[in-house]
Amino acid sequence: MTAPSIELHNVGKRFAKMTDRTVGGRVGLHRRTTREEFWALRGVDLTVQPGECIGIVGRNGSGKSTLLSMLAAVSAPSEGRVVVRGRVAPLLSVGVGFHPELTGRENVFINGAVLGMSRDEVSRRFDEIVEFAGVEAFLDTPVKFYSSGMFVRLGFAIAVNATPDVLLVDEVLAVGDLAFQVKCFDRMRELQRGGTTVVVVTHNLQAMEVLCDRGVVIDTGALRFDGGVHAAVGRYHQLLSDDPTTGVERAPTTSRVLALEVLNPDGTPATSVTSGSEVVVRVEMVHEAIGAEPALQLSIADDSTDIYTETKPWSSLGLTGATHAVVTARLAVPLTTGTYSVRATLAPHGAVVAEEDTLPPTFFRVTLDHPVNGVVDLGARASATFV
């Protein structure tokens, strides 16, 4: 039986919190520093098998990044035991592991060595790393002049070409552009099929639902949920709605989209499709029959242009009253090569939907076998006759 890639047994991480306060006495006011213990994580048990991809979500300060730093052996647990088997490739923050004064070329070899690659191994994969990162024109430029996006592209390219046993990703991919994010997701799936364990910390719940097999919710330093990824997203939304720290009682959201997927006609995720083919947009939503009738709005956009928007009133979908429903829509995509986003909202006509009450967009890539300017391939077929 294959041993788990990751095992955490009753893991806790304690920090010292220093607090300054002013106190009075016979000799006047003076400052006193007190030391308190703060547990960023405590009592965490977690097992991850080879080839599994898990997503970790939680509010800021919940302990997600602390957990990832222990998996990467950047910090040690204060109690319990952490076991990670095999070569680990951590992507914990932008630019970590790069020397700012050295060029991109030099940093490829240094970072590869840090990840356990030999110089010969880096040399063999050098062209693939550079091509994936797309930094050919800046390869001999010191990385201190790189943008955050260039840092991410180069760091991710090195990490995935190290063929790690465990890949740790902490939100850094949010810095890259949409096309690169889709490219990264495709490569992570490829690694996963080869047996690599992938652990992703993210606030992009839609990306997590598409990429991950399993979801883990952490809140106030404790593991609150470990199970199916869709159920994990639901549990996380519940924690957000129950959050007492805002000081504001939020009005109940009576109409909302629970899940959004873009699928191929056979039901598999449509991360990359051929122009002219069909995709199926699947929207799970709920309406509690309070207030005005809602309408479902679907929209498709690229980086700069709204390409398509259609609004369907609740009753036109054959739905009445309070309902928990799934709507599927088949769409042709005669689009040109590029990365496109799909959004879905459910609200009364003309209502403004708060950002926290909307799902993040989901993305898919379209490829076209011939060059066309613009966003739509109108299928022109030219012919000529002699006159």
Q: How large a percentage of the chain has pLDDT more than 90?
A: 21
Please classify residue 14 by burial: count the beta carbons closer than 10 Å to its beta carbon, then call 0-12 exposed, 13-18 middle and 19+ buried: middle
Strand runs labelled E in 78-145: 79-84, 88-91
3-state SS assignment for residue 98: coil
Mean local confidence (pLDDT), 108-137: 90
Comparing 376 with 7, the larger pLDDT belongs to 7
- With b for 16 or more beta-carbon neighbours within 10 A and e for fewer, the 287-307 pattern comes to beeeeebbbbbbbbbbeeeee
Average pLDDT, whole number, for the chain?
Answer: 82
Per-residue pLDDT at 248 exceeds 50:
no
Q: What is the pTM of this model?
A: 0.60
Mean local confidence (pLDDT), 135-140: 89
- Give the residue among 148, 280, 152, 258 at the shortest CA–CA distance from 205: 258
pLDDT of residue 251: 38
Cα distance from N-terminal residue to C-terminal residue, the chain: 77
Over residues 255-304, the pLDDT tens digits come to: 788 888 889 999 888 888 899 899 999 998 888 766 677 888 898 987 66
Inter-residue contact 209 to 282 (CB < 8 Å): no
All structural domains of the chain:
52-76+85-237 (3.40.50.300), 254-367 (2.70.50.60)
Local confidence band at 21 (pLDDT 50, 70, 90 cut-offs): low
Rg of the chain in Å (alpha carbons): 25
3-state helix, strand, coil in the chain (%, to 5): 25, 35, 35
Helices then strands, counting H and E runs in the chain, come out as 7, 17
Distance CA 244, CA 239 (A): 10
Torsion angle of alpha carbons 235, 241, 246, 250, nearest 10°?
A: 170
- Give the residue among 4, 35, 30, 8 at the shortest CA–CA distance from 19: 35
- With b for 16 or more beta-carbon neighbours within 10 A and e for fewer, the 77-114 pattern comes to bbebebebeeebbbbbebbbbbeeeeebebbbbebbee
Both tokens assigned to 219: 């809140």
Mean local confidence (pLDDT), 354-359: 60
3-state SS assignment for residue 158: helix
- Give the residue among 97, 96, 102, 92 at the shortest CA–CA distance from 72: 92
Both tokens assigned to 43: 């009592």
Per-residue pLDDT at 351 exceeds 80:
no
